[in-house]
Amino acid sequence: MNLGLLERGTKLKIFEEHDGCAIGNEFEASFKYPETEKLFTVHSPKLYENYDKLSSDATLSISMMTGSSIRRFTGRAVEKQRTSGMILIEQLTDIVTINRRVYDRDELKVRVSMYGLSEANRHAAHYIKPDKPADMVDMTYDVSTGGICVISNTLLNSKYDPYYLAEFALGLNNKDTFLLPVKLVRRSNYPRAKIGRYDYGFQFIFDDHPDEKSKLSRAILSRKLLFR
């Protein structure tokens, strides 16, 4: 996909970022028109107002929602235009499409704790809950046998990134408790329904524990039947 195919008025979410992590507030914008193959103009009063406060070495994470997919790319604010609220932006990376429906996901809301997982412990025969505070504690947005999505206001940061140990329970009274290794495969700044600034997608790693996948599948089914 290229900028020339975007419709005028397409809603965009823009975050100032550094090294892939958001460092500023969200700016809502609407696509106006392409200037060249890589330059385009958006209308964003808030970004226009904060233009002079942008970090000189920061880039912009730009996202848009299209049905079941998110399109995301990185850009750079080039200049404020004469018309108030209008900003010229340069596209720095290709537009990447992320499809959310690779797995059959269910909107299961369960509390999950994420702990950084070192390489030395990644292939452990048995996992033990770390004796340290979690890097993130929040509610899942959806769960599948492939992975989980967490939408949070917490900026996840660990020296072991992208590998984590996820602790959660799908049954009542802590029944069907899981402590599974996961890999962070998606980190997006496109919040869904304003419930959180950061959208994280984690993929379960079952290579050393294939039985856990069957256990998880049964637990998801039981949870759905219990709360339908």
**Ranges of each domain in the chain:** 3-99, 111-227
Say if residues 134 and 115 touch (Cβ distance below 8 Å). Answer: yes
Averaged pLDDT for residues 212-227: 77
CB neighbour list of residue 162: distance below 8 Å, 6 or more residues apart: 183, 184, 185
Amino acid at 207: D
Q: Over the range 123-148, which residues count as b (16 or more CB within 10 Å of their CB) and which as e? A: eeeebeebeeebbbebebbbbbbbbb
In the chain, % of residues over pLDDT 70? 83
**pLDDT mean across residues, the chain:** 84
**CATH number of the domain located at residue range(s) 111-227 in this protein:** 2.40.10
The three-state secondary structure class of 167 is: strand
CATH code of the domain occupying 3-99: 2.30.110.10
Average pLDDT estimate for 36-49: 94
Say if residue 103's pLDDT is above 50. Answer: no
Residues 6+ apart with CB under 8 A from 75: 59, 60, 62, 89, 90, 91, 92
pTM: 0.57
Among the residues of the chain, which ranges form H helices? 45-49, 210-227
- Topology alike, domains 3-99 and 111-227: no
Residue 129 has pLDDT above 50, yes or no: yes
